[in-house]
Chains A and B, each alone.
Chain A
Amino acid sequence: MRRVARGDGRAFTELVEAYGPKLMAVATRLLGSRADAEDAVQRALLQSYQAARRYEPRWAVSTWLYRVLTNVCVDELRRRGVRAAHAASAAAEDHAPVFETPGDAGRRIDVARALAKVPREARVLLALHYVNGLGNAELARIRGISINTVKSQLARGKSILRAALAQGGHA
């Protein structure tokens, strides 16, 4: 990261290669479509690149990248909420979830539907937690909340999920 701050293009490329896929996974699951996710990751990386000078070694690089990325994604979710409210019956949703393996498709739709019922903040935490196995302390730092809040949000999110999945005939 210090090399990136000095304007080292190769260091930045390495960083993107190392974290790109995980950032993409978080963004894809939060935003639903791959195109939106690419856009979000790109914006997040752009911001990190521009702000590399302000990076503090006290923070893990991943914590910092995830903070920037979730900031972008959450704002995108807000914008969608506004758009949906304004054009209530506008064109049908084109943000269909992304499927890699056809066999999983059915189950993925169920999980995606169930996740849609989880409150936004909890959903963000769940995505970060399950993509990367991030611990509670790191989640707390990423979203700027207390560890206890992380714990209660995760637990609440999971119980809502469990209930929603049970309704759909899973779990």
Chain B
Amino acid sequence: MIRDRVDQLLVDYFKPAGAPPTLAPHVMRRAEGADREAEALLDRLAVSATPQGISLIRRGRQAPGASGPARRLIERAREELHDYLRGQRAYFSVPVDLHEAPEFQGKVLRAAGDIPFGQARPYAWVAKRIGHPGAVRAVGTALGKNPVPLIVPCHRVLKSDGGVGGYIFGTRLKGWLLEIERTTPVLEGCTSTRVVCRVGCAHLRRAKPKNRVVFASVEDALSVGYRACQACRPAQVA
């Protein structure tokens, strides 16, 4: 392996480092329950929809949709939420219907929807973005009444001092959602088709877990012989 000086430098540089001794038991403890928590949460949520999109997500018992299209949207939303909570989806493709929301709240929610997956912004950022920099509290109230939490990511809005702020389903859940997003990759490629997708894309869902590799950017993936998915258009995100 060592042929020249650069090789030697690299071998020295990459000498094995000791692992912390408590790693194994710690990992085994953490593995318990992560999946169960996601399912328990989804079980307690009721999703409602109009034929145009998801209109309400609240705690409660799930009722079937009023019409065929609404039922299909609800099923789709629940599937996407399930994937999202288990760290297997980095975006929602199901449409939301915010017609019921007043104009100001609509603006706030759309601004919150512009915050990318895995990131967070202060309430003041949202206020500035909708052109009412003084309305920080009103922004908080509007987000607190978010009709479709989780899908419209009001949990990505935090206090300017780094505090978590409030959340409709409780601050503990808000922290947990941010943690999920912190550990969910956004771009994955399938090694058998050499296509790179956003995590959650239908194409990628068909790929076996062992055939998935994570990429840091679409450019990186292209540089090693992958191509971008035509369906989910990953170039928009990274």
Interface residues, chain A, with chain B CB atoms under 8 Å away: 9, 12-13, 15-17, 20-26, 28-29, 34, 37-38, 41-43, 45-46, 49-51, 54, 56, 59, 64, 67, 70-72, 74-75, 77-79, 81-82, 86, 98, 100, 104, 107-108, 111-112, 115, 119-121, 126-127, 130-131, 133, 143-146, 149, 153, 158, 161-162, 165, 170-171
Contact = CB atoms under 8 A, between A and B. Distances in A.
B36 to A, nearest CB: 12
Contact of B9 (A56, A153, A165): A165
A26 B13 CA distance: 10
A112 to B, nearest CB: 8
Interface string B56-92: 0000000000000000000000000000000000000
Task: Say whether chain A's binding surface is mostly helix, strand, loop, or mixed.
Answer: helix
13 contacts: A9-B24, A17-B24, A25-B14, A25-B17, A41-B19, A50-B35, A71-B185, A75-B186, A78-B238, A82-B116, A104-B12, A149-B225, A165-B9
A43 B183 contact: yes
Interface in B22-64: 23-28, 30-31, 34-35
Contact of A171 (B9, B26, B182, B226): B9
B216 interface: yes
Given A25-B15, A46-B27, A145 B185 contact: no
B9 A78 contact: no
A12 to B, nearest CB: 6
Given A12-B28, A46-B31, A71 B214 contact: yes
Contacts of A144: 189-191, 194, 211-213
Contact of A121 (B9, B10, B18, B220): B220
